[in-house]
Structure 1
Amino acid sequence: MHDEKIRAYAEIMDEMGLTGLEVEEGGAKIRLERGVPQAAAPVVITQQGLAGDGAADAESATPKGELYSVRSPLVGVFYVAPAENAEPFVMPGDRVKKGQTLCIVEAMKLMNEITAEEPGVVEKVCVTNGQMVEYGAELFQIRR
């Protein structure tokens, strides 16, 4: 496989926010992996604006008692559990910690864990298991 093709696959990974990609072409097989990029982190919307974009200035945390949304950082298929017959990661009413896995979004056969940006209580799961989600789609509402 030529360097140009490998670089093109790396660019695709960047564009889609993927952490890994495996390609088989003409008998050659290549697997590219990288650490989790910042773009793959969950996007949190607060009353002040998009967390991390400077709109919230010094205070990026959602005020206590208010809802914040966890949105999909990529296009893919939403899964509530790690396996078909497994218990869901979280359900409405569950208390979650910062960094706790909420769901998986599968993109190009890669399972991307979506985590809670802040601690709180899951108020609502906004999509159904197996549903295709777009970039920025609201996945959960969590009360701080």
Structure 2
Amino acid sequence: MLLGHDDGYVRDKNMKVTVVYNHFGPNCNQRMPRIRYGYAHVANNLYFGWMQYAIGGSMRPSLKSEANLFIAPKVGSKEVTWRKIGNTSGDKWEFHSVRDAFENGAYFTVTKGGRVPKPNYRKEQGFKVVDVKSVRSLTRSAGALQCSRTSIC
């Protein structure tokens, strides 16, 4: 899930995206999501293994990861986050983890200091972020439909 056009498309700095109630894995490689510029609120998702990273960013993105369950793969990268370093924007980025849970050695590299960005939803856009203990059951039916030519979806 790539959020943002390309590194040269500065207008994406106004982008605001919510990624919620998803089950990622076990065979996802990266970009769950990858954010260029802009802001993403990632909440109540289940990450069941990844190869390179789960959440990444470049070009000064802001991220609030909230009440997600990250289960690292048995082999490979245990780090949840990735950020592009060495671009012209420097290393300015904001990644925050709030009430996330980590299993099997998973870890999240956060911004040092600073305040956690708020999603600033309008009243009709808001939703309740549930406790991370409920994420497995909340995302149990997430994903592609299991349909066949002879079944009704």
Question: What is the TM-score when the length of structure 1 is the normalising length?
Answer: 0.26
Q: Indicate the structure (1 or 2) with the bigger Cα radius of gyration.
A: 1
Q: TM-score under structure 2 normalisation?
A: 0.25
